[in-house]
Structure 1
Amino acid sequence: MDETIGHSNYDSVIEVSNKLFKLVSNKLGVNTAYIARKENEQIKIVNAFNEKETILSKDAEIDYYESSCKKVFESDQEYTTVENLMTNPTTQDQVASREWHVRGFMGVKLKSMNGDIFGTLCVMDYAEKHFSEEDVEFLKTIAEVLSYIIELDETFADIELLSVPIIPIRSGLAILALQGNINKSRGKKILEDTLNYALDQRINYFVIDLSQIKYSDTNFAVLLHSLISALRLMGVKVMLSGVPVQLAHEHLIRDQLVKLDVAYVKTIEAALMKIGYVLKDVSADKE
């Protein structure tokens, strides 16, 4: 089984673990607590907490075979404890012992509801540590909470990647109604799907509505510029509607928009009317 966490920003698990790590450190009397994941032959630190001296930092990467997490991943049990990494024959040559001089260690597996391994939740300290059964159960409980949060993060990431809201209006005309936060991975999905749709459906006009955007990523300016430029190269006429005030105030976005030769309107309805497509009031006909 590939013991690798899926692709997600893990914003929620980082936020939650920031609050839990201090509790873990105090309860177990350890300097460092961290979440790690396995990516190919590397261990990447998703998040870390150090009470006093810094042993590990967020986003650090360690060779899998050099890491203490290897023992946790390959154990038949849900957890692994080592009183002294520096004297244990299976860990004394690893980086935590050789370079960091860490002794006390405990790690538990982070698992999804179907049993797949996300990664590990580990603690370590410079002093020898004898962890009790109560300590083990405590860390396992924290791991269950974090596993649930990680799974939610991955679910939301999958939903975002699948969410490219293209609305066909009629032959040659469609609306791209962008909503929520757009990070780099979702932006790539939007760019690819929109261009493919424009090509497959022979779109002549694309209205890109930004009224529901929650801008939080500097890559959005680049995405918007790339998307509009590519559509124009394909012969598609682009119109932007509903540019939010907060978006217009961002200098990166504003500078990119100024460079583009596109029409701007307040609403989708105004965009359609400008193209020559009139929305009909069905209720008026019924009267």
Structure 2
Amino acid sequence: MKAIVQMASEQVLNRKEYIATQITSEQNKNYPTELKDKTDELFPLRVELVTIYAKSLALREEEAEKSIEAWGVETGRMCARLETTLDSMLGEVPHYRKYIGEVLKEVAIEQQIGIEELYELISKLDHAMNLVVYYFSVPFVEYQTNLLEQSRNEILELSAPVVPIMEGVAVLPLIGTIDTYRAKLIMEESLNQSVRLRLNYFVLDLSGVPIVDTFVIQQLFQIIEALRLVGVEARISGIKPEIALSVVKLDISFKMVNTYSTLKQALADLVIQC
């Protein structure tokens, strides 16, 4: 059986370019917009993977897994950087099974091996493919997850822009919903910029906030209190009728905070005081 396995491995290696070409053709047809323009980058990776499969047939299970793991870590990240999709990449697996399986069938017929020997060959191939899927997918998903988190952080940083208006005065125009993560970011940015800019007054403008509920109000009061502790007086503008009604229904008092219906009114009042 060892000689048969070695022969099958060599036959697959001899046809690695052909198999990679066939898989490239199939994938470009199935995913023309995702993969066709990446053919030059993906083709050598496919040749390398066919090589991995061929060698895994002749290797002990532990050795094959180490080889596949090393390949998966590097190639998974590389394909993610190429902006392929996991769906399109995993869509290649049946093609490898098909074309490598054909080689194994030819070897079985030529060498007249029995069902048990053929089953053993196919089982080794299936095991290798399962390992490839796992070791490729993990770094691929990790890379994309980290990229999404980085993009999310960048977007959130842009969502808390502190704008200096005049000496000692800055405005934070809030747009969109406020969740726990964003509230924490707003708090940090408000305090850091207030100290850096040596502010006396800080205006939180709610004109672009669609919903003001108990959570948002609590977060606002925490920000106002934190600013007070560093010597900055916070004011709130953009109190629309619906926001005023929500505050009244929530039975929350803004008596200790200056509030304005528009940012223009808040700034006009500060100009007089400054």
TM-score, normalised via structure 1 length: 0.43
TM-score, normalised via structure 2 length: 0.45
- Specify the structure having the higher radius of gyration (Cα): 2
Give the strand-richer structure, 1 or 2: 1
- Which structure would you say has the larger RCO, counting Cα contacts within 8 Å and 6 or more residues apart? 2
